[in-house]
Amino acid sequence: MFFAALNALEGKGVEELRERLRNDWGETVVSNWMLWIPAQAVNLGLVPLHLQVLFGNVVSLAWNSYLSWVSHRHLRDSPAAIGDA
């Protein structure tokens, strides 16, 4: 859903969405599992109850930053982005 919503908000078409999913979806799902499964194990097993929401929010901030980086990293390497710097 993240990639579809981002694609729609950027005004891109279905072909761009297919390309983005082909390039980024698999890596993103694996990264999701690598982050959230251990994070929730720590959260539910070690973090005190009154801090669990805060812990989840901090992990979520890191996850959302990663998603932003993945979805825009192609811009960093493009010639137009280099020329704009």
Q: In the predicted model, what is the mean pLDDT of residues 35-54?
A: 98
- Residue 20 in this model has a pLDDT that exceeds 60: yes
- Residue 74 in this model has a pLDDT that exceeds 80: no
Residues 6+ apart with CB under 8 A from 37: none
- Side chain identity at residue 3, one-letter code: F
Lowest mean pLDDT among 22-26, 37-41, 52-56, 76-80: 76-80
- Residue 23 in this model has a pLDDT that exceeds 90: no
**What is the per-residue pLDDT for 42?**
98
Cα torsion 34, 40, 45, 51: sign: positive
d(CA 19, CA 79): 19
Percent of the chain at pLDDT above 90? 53
Write out pLDDT tens, residues 52-71: 999 999 999 999 999 999 98
Q: In the predicted model, what is the mean pLDDT of residues 28-40?
A: 97
